[in-house]
Structure 1
Amino acid sequence: MTNRSEIKALLFDVFGTVVDWRSGVARDLRPFLTRQAIRVDSFEFADAWRRQYAPAMNEIRSGRRPFVRLDVLHRENLLRVLTDYGVNVSSISADELDELNRAWHHLDPWPDSVEGLLRLKRRFVIASLSNGNISLMLDMAKRAALPWDAILGAEVVRAYKPSPQVYVETVEILGLAPSEVCMVAAHNGDLAAARLCGLKTAFVVRPTEHGPAQKSDLHAEQTWDFAAADLNDLATQLGCPT
C-alpha cells in the first residue's frame, strides 16, 4: 500500500487531465471556420490539430530539432492542418492565425478540477508539469482559476514529456526526492514515464478527453499508486478535507 504521508508535492499533466482541450479548441475554431468558409466540423479540425502534437514534439525529443516552445509547434501544426484541408494559408492574416493559435490558452477546466485542486493545495504543493509553455499555462490558469503553487514543465527544463529529463529535473527544482512527488495524469504513458523516474503515480480517468468515441486511457493500465474518478476523488483518497 502506498504511504501517502511521504508525498509532499503533486505534479499535474494539464491538457486532458485538468482542462478539456477538445471542447475549448473547437469552440474557438467555429467562428474562424465560418469566416473562412472552411467546411469542416470544428471538433474534427480540433482532433486533426491535436494529432500533430506528438509528431511535432518527437522531432525535438529525437534531437533532430532544437527545443522550441509549444506555442510555436501549435502554430506550425495549425498551418499544416489548414493546408491538409485545402486552405490557402497565405490568404489568412498573421494576426488571425496568431489569435486562433491562442485557443490553447483559453481552455476550460473539467467541472471537478478547480475544487479538487484547491482541496489538494491545502495539504500538498501543487504544480503543473505540462508540455505547454509558461505564458500558455499562465493565461490558462488566470482564465480557469487554476490555483497552482508553481508552473513547471517542458519550457523550464527545455525538453518534452515523456523524456526522463522532464520528470527528474522538475523534482530537483522542487528540492524533493522522487518518492516525495506524485505525478497526476489521465494518460497511462505519462505515468509510466514518471514511475520509471521514481515518482509516485495517480491516474485520473477522463473518458471524454478525445470525444464520445474515445478508446484510449479509459482505465488504469498498470497498478498505479492511486486511481481516481476525478480530482475530488483523488483529494479524498489523499486525505484532503472538503
Structure 2
Amino acid sequence: MSLPAVKALTFDVFGTVVDWRTSIARELRAALEPAGHEFDWLQLADEWRGGYQPALEQVRSGARPWVTLDVLHHENLVELLAKHDIAELSESEIEELSHAWWRLDPWPDAVEGLSRLKQRFIIATLSNGNIALMVNLAKHGALPWDAILGAEISHSYKEQPITYLGSAEALGLRPDECAMVAAHNDDLVAAGALGFRTMYVNRPAEHGPGQTTDIRALHDFDIAATSLTDLARQLEC
C-alpha cells in the first residue's frame, strides 16, 4: 500500500512491539519464587498491569503532577506486594523488580519488522513509557528505533492530544506525515482524529487466551496487519 505523504511511523510499544504479559510473569517469578512464594504468575502480571490505566488517569486528570511511568510502575508494585503480604523484599530489590518493564521481550516478528520498516521510514516510539524505560527496553530487545518520543517529551499521557502532536512536532513533521502503529483501537482512533495515518497490528494474545478486546480492527484504519512483518510487506519494505 502506498501512503506517499507518510515519512515516519510512530509506535505504541507495550503490547504492540513487546510481549509485556509473559515477560512480567517471568520477572515476578524470578524475584518471588526463591523466597517461597507461589502464584499464578500470569495472573499476578495482569494485576500489576491492572494499575496502569488508573495511575495514568490520575496524571491525565490533573489529580497529581506529572511523573514518569517508571514512578507509576514502582508505586503500583509496592501496592501489589502489600496486597499479597510480600514483605521481605528490600527497597533495592523492589526497585530492581520495578524495572522489569525495562526487560520485556519483543514479539517474534518485531525486530525483523522494525528493521525492514526502518529502511524506508523514520521509526520512533510514541509510548507512555518514559525515555529511560524505552532506551533500556530497546537495548534489551535490540529494537532499532530512530527516536524515543511519546509521553515524557510532552509531560502527558495518551490519549491526550499533545502526546501525539508533540511527537510529530519533535520530528519536524505534520501529523499527516506520521502514522500511528498500534494494536489498540482507541490509540489509533485518538491519533487519527489529530490527522495521523493509522496502522493496526493484530496482537490477540497480548492479554492471554481470554482476551476480549482489540482482537481485530474495529475501524477503517489505513492498514490492518497481522504482524509487523506483515505491515512491512504491505508497505513494500
Q: Same fold (TM over 0.5)?
A: yes
Give the deviation of 1:33 after TM superposition.
2.0
2: CA distance between counterparts of 1:8 and 1:81? 42
2: CA distance between counterparts of 1:146 and 1:34? 30
2: CA distance between counterparts of 1:159 and 1:150? 18
Per-residue Cα deviation, 1:71-90 (whole angstroms, up to 9, x for no partner): 100010001111222333xx
Identical aligned residues as a percent: 54
2: CA distance between counterparts of 1:3 and 1:28? 41
Q: Partner of 1:96 in structure 2?
A: 93
Q: Partner of 1:69 in structure 2?
A: 68
- 1:79 has 2:78 as partner: yes
Q: 1:73-222 to 2 correspondence within 5 Å?
A: 73-88=72-87, 91-222=88-219
Pairs aligned (count):
237
Q: Partner of 1:54 in structure 2?
A: 53
Q: Partner of 1:18 in structure 2?
A: 17
Q: Is the 8 A contact 1:17 1:204 kept in 2?
A: yes
2: CA distance between counterparts of 1:96 and 1:75? 11
TM-score of the superposition, structure 1-length normalised? 0.95
Q: Is the 8 A contact 2:2 2:235 kept in 1?
A: no
5+ unaligned residues in a row in structure 1: which ranges? none
Q: Secondary structure at the match of 1:5?
A: coil
Q: Partner of 1:37 in structure 2?
A: 36
Q: Is the 8 A contact 1:33 1:40 kept in 2?
A: no
Runs of 4+ with deviation above 4 angstroms: none
2: CA distance between counterparts of 1:123 and 1:3? 12
Q: Partner of 1:226 in structure 2?
A: 223
1: CA distance between counterparts of 2:89 and 2:117? 44
Per-residue Cα deviation, 1:172-194 (whole angstroms, up to 9, x for no partner): 11111111100000000110110
1: CA distance between counterparts of 2:125 and 2:159? 14
Give the deviation of 1:3 after TM superposition.
5.1
2: CA distance between counterparts of 1:179 and 1:189? 18
Q: Secondary structure at the match of 2:71?
A: helix
1: CA distance between counterparts of 2:173 and 2:182? 20
Given residue 58 of structure 1, which amino acid in structure 2 is its aligned partner?
Answer: E
Per-residue Cα deviation, 1:49-93 (whole angstroms, up to 9, x for no partner): 0000000000000011111001100010001111222333xx420
Q: Secondary structure at the match of 1:132?
A: coil
Q: Secondary structure at the match of 2:124?
A: strand
Given residue 199 of structure 1, which amino acid in structure 2 is its aligned partner?
Answer: F
Per-residue Cα deviation, 1:125-181 (whole angstroms, up to 9, x for no partner): 000011111111111101111000000111111001111110111111111111110
1: CA distance between counterparts of 2:171 and 2:31? 41
Q: Is the 8 A contact 2:153 2:166 kept in 1?
A: no
Given residue 23 of structure 1, which amino acid in structure 2 is its aligned partner?
Answer: T
5+ unaligned residues in a row in structure 2: which ranges? none
1: CA distance between counterparts of 2:152 and 2:164? 13
Q: Secondary structure at the match of 2:4?
A: helix
Given residue 192 of structure 1, which amino acid in structure 2 is its aligned partner?
Answer: V
RMSD: 1.1
